[in-house]
Structure 1
Amino acid sequence: MVPRWRSFVGTILIIVLVITYALAATTIATLTLATSPWWVHFLYFLLSGLLWILPAMLIIKWMAGPRPKR
């Protein structure tokens, strides 16, 4: 795939990932953490706020293309 198209597709995928992940994380928190103490909310949003980075890293790695052979 041409690097320009790869970057475009990757950018769209990251935007979709962030929006979908934010909606899912907020929905899960709303449904399950209603009566939890503040520190449970803090830990949940801390972990869920960092967890989206893993799939985003894979998309960015794909956007960079294959490694050049030495």
Structure 2
Amino acid sequence: MIEPSWRKPVGIFLILLIIFIWAVIVATASPWIGQLHMLVQAVIYTIAGIVWILPLKPLLAWMETGRWRA
């Protein structure tokens, strides 16, 4: 029988932590972003919606293999 890895629950916690911290950062910046032109806001929020995904690839690799690179 395969023993469950402790890396998966820790990884899930870290993913949720990354999402929470990124949401706080974006929400904190929103008063300044809200003063910009609507199209600039759309670009900033689109980029902010994608950037938080970048640290997930190495984190998911670590969760599966125990190494930070696949």
| TM-score relative to the length of structure 1 | 0.80
The gaps in structure 1 that reach 5 residues or longer are none
**Is the aligned partner of 1:17 residue 2:8?**
no
Measure, in 2, the Cα distance between the counterparts of 1:59 and 1:66.
9
CA distance in 2, matches of 1:47, 1:66: 30
Deviations 1:4-31 (A, max 9, x none): 201011000000000111111121232x
Structure 2 gaps of 5+ residues are none
**Aligned partners of 1:5, 1:45: CA distance in 2, in Å?**
34
Instruction: Output the amino acid matched with 1:50.
Output: I
Give the structure with the larger helix fraction: 1
Conserved? CA contact 2:8–2:63, under 8 Å? yes
Aligned to 1:54: 54
Paired residues, number: 65
CA RMSD of aligned residues (A): 1.8
- Pairs within 5 Å for 1:1-70: 4-30=5-31, 32-66=32-66
Contact 2:11/2:59 (<8 A) preserved: yes
Q: TM-score, normalised by structure 2?
A: 0.80
